[in-house]
Amino acid sequence: MRLFLFPKNERRAWPIIVVMPFGVAAVMWPHQMKLKIIGIAVVAISLLTAIVGWGSDKPPIEKEPYTVQEGDTLWHIASERWEGDPREGVRWIREKNSLESPIIHPGETILVPKKEETE
């Protein structure tokens, strides 16, 4: 797409010739071009807002600090506290604690999913 701009006249602006692919040309006045650009921006912002706002309906997982005991592993902690597949629990614990490896040491304090209270 190529734009050919004409110099401004003192009384009114000159049209802008827009050359599209395949030799199609369109003549637009500057105010039409502004409206088109504003329209495209509004649509783009609306789409981005819709995509970002499209979250899951799950409530955020509550977390609590946990002090690692002798013999604890991430798998053991995740299987006790994570509802569902323990692999997802291990991944969640590693992400929340920025753990580069799955190795944890006794006395270390990490964030884990809050244990559900059973009645």
Domains of the chain with bracketed CATH: 2-50 (no CATH), 63-113 (3.10.350.10)
Angle (deg, nearest 10), helices 86-96 and 74-81: 110
Type of residue found at 105? H
> What pLDDT shows up at residue 37?
83
Q: Which letter does DSSP use for residue 7 in this model?
A: P
Distances, alpha carbon 118 to alpha carbons 16, 26, 46, 98, 115, in Å: 71, 70, 44, 30, 9
pLDDT under 70: residue ranges of the chain: 1-16, 18, 20, 23-24, 28, 30-31, 55-58, 116-119
